Amino acid sequence: MGTITKALEMLDHFSRHRPELGLADFVRLTGRDKATVHRHLVELAANGFLEQDEGSRAYRLGPAILRLAGVRERTHPARSVLRPVVQALAEELGELVHMSILQGELLSPLVHADPFAHGTQVHFDEAEMLPLHATSSGLAVLAFGDPAWAEGILAAPLPRFTDNTETDPARLRAMIAATQASGIAALDRAFDGEVVSQGVPVFGPDARVFGALSVAVPRVRAGAAKSTEIAAALRRGCVVATRALGGQVPEAHRALWPEGN
Amino acid sequence: MGTITKALEMLDHFSRHRPELGLADFVRLTGRDKATVHRHLVELAANGFLEQDEGSRAYRLGPAILRLAGVRERTHPARSVLRPVVQALAEELGELVHMSILQGELLSPLVHADPFAHGTQVHFDEAEMLPLHATSSGLAVLAFGDPAWAEGILAAPLPRFTDNTETDPARLRAMIAATQASGIAALDRAFDGEVVSQGVPVFGPDARVFGALSVAVPRVRAGAAKSTEIAAALRRGCVVATRALGGQVPEAHRALWPEGN
DNA sequence: ACCAGAGGTTCAAATAATGAACCCATCTTA
DNA sequence: TAAGATGGGTTCATTATTTGAACCTCTGGT
């Protein structure tokens, strides 16, 4: 392992619950010699990747990271980063794939790709906001977002879009539980009367739900084999999209969407 | 220079105008051997600090940076990072110092510190939004923000707060020019009839104005000596605050607020 | 007055970084 | 189409940088 990697890996030890770490903490966490660790810390700090608290001498993430993140966001915004991911999935599956981000109590479509591989296609409007309880994307977000927040959504009156739209909180809770168990949300004609869809959550920094990735198939083409194929692709997609955003899958759920790497 | 620094400095070559760089570009920019540069690039990419375009093989800033920036923002938000800067300035000068951030066409106070060193104090309300044309903070932002945007502000009717509030666009343009030349905005009783103030801009990522740092003094204590002292402190403050935010002073104006380092 | 644990430093020994030369594409241009 | 130029990437002996045991100093607890 190169010196650069050793130094950069130290940055990974910071998190919401560990905002500051001292020299001794790093020695424990890395298992490396104190002198080595100290030199790495000093060098990271000299470059602004860490800064040291005057009083406690503890280290925290530095401002240089903010600057670089600003550059990345301006030059490669989430949308342009996710587009190739969505397109690759769509081409692989031959079906419509879309990525939406959570905004308040609705999902806002960010990118979609339709391979036009078949005669019948799913209609998708990027300007239309998606409800949480009636789409597979939404179900995925409800299942892996903050539970108290999800309860709040279920508590409000829920609109019905088709005969298959579920609006009963108790049954929705069961569907959320099933999604939490499998890692994949699946809905049959709940929003559009001709569409069957599956979705996975996508996580942002600090392992919070950022949005969802979903595949929508015309009912006429849906089937067990196709469903299995899509689920497998989405499991990968969850990890790829999360990684592209600099996000991370919550530790507790990591087994649901195995790391390809 | 350590290996870590060599690798990290490569990240600094990315900017809005240079979102992607190839191996040969880095060789030119760093002057180092191609093999060395390549190994550094690979190691940075392996840690997610860079990612490589499949097609062009060029490198761009990677998602790991976003993740770390998210952690830093959650654990050390701008306000808490700037508080010690503002407090140190206030104690050094014995006067009220505040930092405000630009929100639309007004400045929103973020932190302030009052050393209570004298009998007469400046009244400061953190809940009150500050106008751009009548405060030194605002003048600083107008002077170093986007010129077209600043013109738009001057084009609208401007409220008058005291007898000294300047509302004439032509005269305001002259004051902006003076601020651009000196690097310090100064106003005498333009917003509060008893207060004299000076301000400097603070820049965020990508060298755009983020807000302003300002010192307000009761008119009765104002004077040439004090004004000079404050200006010197603010020149430093601009650089310190900008750096704390991960921002950068625009290249063209760097001489106005010399780097302490 | 002592000990434990923190941050930080030193210098010989050893490991990891280095760079000249090389390979293989693709793209220009003669 | 052949020769040259440019770009990405790799190899391996040489070299220089990183490494870690021991040491220093300070603070807080008992």
CATH number of the domain to which A120 belongs: 3.30.450.40
Mean pLDDT of A120-129: 88
In a domain, B159, yes or no: yes
Which chain A residues are within 8 Å of B67, Cβ to Cβ?
205, 246-248
Task: Report which of B71, A59, B38, A10 is spatially closest to residue B10, judged by C-alpha positions.
Answer: B38
Q: How far is CA B51 from the centre of its chain?
A: 29
| CB-based contact A41:A26 (threshold 8 Å) | yes
Chain B residue closest to A82 (CA)? B63
Residues B41 and B145 in one domain: no
DSSP letter, residue A159: -
Q: According to the model, what pLDDT value does residue B65 have?
A: 94
Residues A36 and A125 in one domain: no
Q: pLDDT band for A260, please (50, 70, 90 cuts).
A: low
Is the per-residue pLDDT at A155 higher than 60?
yes
Residues B214 and B137 in one domain: yes
d(Cα B187, Cα B199) in Å, to the nearest integer?
A: 9
Cβ–Cβ contact B7 with A under 8 A: yes
Cβ–Cβ contact A246 with B under 8 A: yes
Query: Could you say which of A40, A72, A104 is where a domain stops?
Result: A72
Residue type, B188: D
Structural domain that includes position B252: 77-256
Mean pLDDT of A142-158: 94
d(Cα B19, Cα B185) in Å, to the nearest integer?
A: 34
d(Cα A198, Cα A182) in Å, to the nearest integer?
A: 12
DSSP, collapsed to helix, strand or coil, labels residue A186 as strand
**Locate tokens 């049959």: which residue?**
A188
In a domain, B214, yes or no: yes
Query: Could you say which of B46, B72, B98 is where a domain stops?
Result: B72
Residues A120 and A151 in one domain: yes
In a domain, A261, yes or no: no
Residues B66 and B83 in one domain: no
DSSP, collapsed to helix, strand or coil, labels residue A107 as strand
Residues B131 and B20 in one domain: no
| CB-based contact B247:B135 (threshold 8 Å) | no
B171 CB neighbours strand C below 7 A: no
Mean pLDDT of A242-254: 92
d(Cα B185, Cα B132) in Å, to the nearest integer?
A: 11
Q: According to the model, what pLDDT value does residue B127 have?
A: 81
Beta bridge partners of B113: B97
Q: According to the model, what pLDDT value does residue A52 have?
A: 93
Residue range B83-103, pLDDT digits in tens: 999 999 999 999 999 999 998
Counting DSSP H helices and E strands in chain B, the numbers are: 9, 8
Residues B141 and B221 in one domain: yes
For residue B34, give the nucleotide whose C1' atom is nearest its CA.
C19
Q: Which residue has the higher pLDDT, B14 or A16?
A: B14
Residues B185 and B132 in one domain: yes
Q: Which residue has the higher pLDDT, A177 or A118?
A: A177
Q: According to the model, what pLDDT value does residue A94 have?
A: 94
> How many of the other CB atoms lie within 10 Å of CB of B124?
16
Residue range A168-209, pLDDT digits in tens: 999 999 999 999 999 999 999 999 999 999 999 999 987 899
Residues A136 and A246 in one domain: yes
Q: pLDDT band for B238, please (50, 70, 90 cuts).
A: very high
In a domain, B54, yes or no: yes
Residue range B137-155, pLDDT digits in tens: 999 999 999 999 999 999 9
Residues A249 and A224 in one domain: yes
Residues B37 and B12 in one domain: yes
d(Cα A47, Cα A205) in Å, to the nearest integer?
A: 23
Task: Report which of A49, A55, A47, A54 is spatially closest to residue A10, judged by C-alpha positions.
Answer: A49
* CA B7 / C1′ D23 distance in Å: 32
Q: According to the model, what pLDDT value does residue B202 have?
A: 97
Is the per-residue pLDDT at A69 higher than 80?
yes
Residue type, B185: A
Query: Could you say which of A18, A41, A72 is where a domain stops?
Result: A72
Residues A224 and A158 in one domain: yes
| CB-based contact B167:B133 (threshold 8 Å) | yes
In a domain, B261, yes or no: no
Q: pLDDT band for A135, please (50, 70, 90 cuts).
A: very high
The tally of domains found in chain A comes to 2
d(Cα A229, Cα A92) in Å, to the nearest integer?
A: 10
Q: According to the model, what pLDDT value does residue B174 have?
A: 97
